[in-house]
Structure 1
């Protein structure tokens, strides 16, 4: 299989799941970390880099060990002497509805660009083939640090890296829609490929029922060469700046259990397939396939047993 150097930039937080002031399960989670885990599982020979910042506390150390067990290259993970990881809780009411609460204003990941080793770490990935990040990776940063990140992405792009972005628009992380659109549009201008969710774009632009072609055309106008619009159960649409496009139907699902990480896992499988030479349509099919497995299980990361067939098939891409 093709050896590709992939770096994922983002944030992972400590997770508390359960009712407030009751028994809660401790774990960790984050959109880009989910993508890194699935990407590593699909392409064991690649071992993607994860660039983030953690503290020097026990929680951070245990998170780091867990990522390393997933064959994620953690040599770029920064350790902050003064800060801790962000924290969020998931509470479930009597009707099964989930509510989220976040504590991340002073997290280590928020200030990763200010870390003394951030620039030296970037120097280590100047030969990267793919850089992946999401709108959350951008949203958590202070304004000045977003500019630093843009400069870094521009430099990496000049050195040949393909920049891949998912807006993953979360309104609570931004001042308002206009602020989010300003920064996300600037991120798109640096991106070669966008893997976006149709619902997110509708929310960002306040345009319900926005046609996916309109989403793709908007991103192409910003300079994004390859656009994928994820459409949930309907599958995905792919489009190129040269005017080529198509639809890939979603996979049938026996029972929908939990949509957590559906988009993150789609991105992982898409990037994995695309990095190995698959077309956009083929890569969308891989994304749909993994996402359909993930949503039939509880939680963001499903057991490896359910991925074995997919991993085996992924290893045959270059043989076709």
Structure 2
């Protein structure tokens, strides 16, 4: 996180009662998953498998793909760094504003990259193109049909589609099935947001077997730890029962946003997810963040360091009703 993105709870002194800055599911890790992780704690006395490939068959069954189309990583971030390493010194584009790790990965591996708008994709000719779908921090998205058209129109460009938050919306279909049709498609997904296990770091890449084989040659061994593997096995074996109800979460978000929109001095931005941007029309985001921490033990995301995002913005992620009401009241007091 060279640009300071991500949850900065570890930097805050004192108690934080409500964390609106993190996009992980607010109800926390399912108890059955926590129990499974605890049950396997003694397994840390042995090395994990070098490439965590025991998860491949389970993932293949869920997505109805082949096991050689998967590569598990230390969170989605390791996936981005592996992909950037593969395209080292080539040209890349990033649809922005978005997650900073794409930029960091490109910088480290000397890619000649540019930040572009959504509208500029059709006129951009590069070797590698990053799209976050749905996007972080805006919550905007591309349909599967829109993306497949781009894959067809630009066969010389490899598209990295980050679907880390796809389960935080109810109107998007994954493009993972298209990896069998389009050699220029790499999908990156995460298990940490949906199942609230960001401390375990578990992500994965889906692509055609040739891309996976090439990326695997660059990957360090044992990057996925034993407890993450055990958690992954349990998740894939119980995916439907563990996954939260996106429609219910979005209904809560609609109510939350409706009340926020009544507050003068802020503008609530459109989003297809449970997280969204709020523009502060008269005062700086840094000031609001400091006020909420000091006076209310509430943490929000200061979004002013997202490149290509103009103005003073914060990002909020829907929490429980009581926490949402506390933030609304605190914002009214601050305004």
Could you state the TM-score of these two structures normalised by the residue count of structure 1? 0.33
Larger RCO: 1 or 2 (CA < 8 Å, sep 6+): 2
Larger radius of gyration: 2
TM-score by length of 2: 0.32
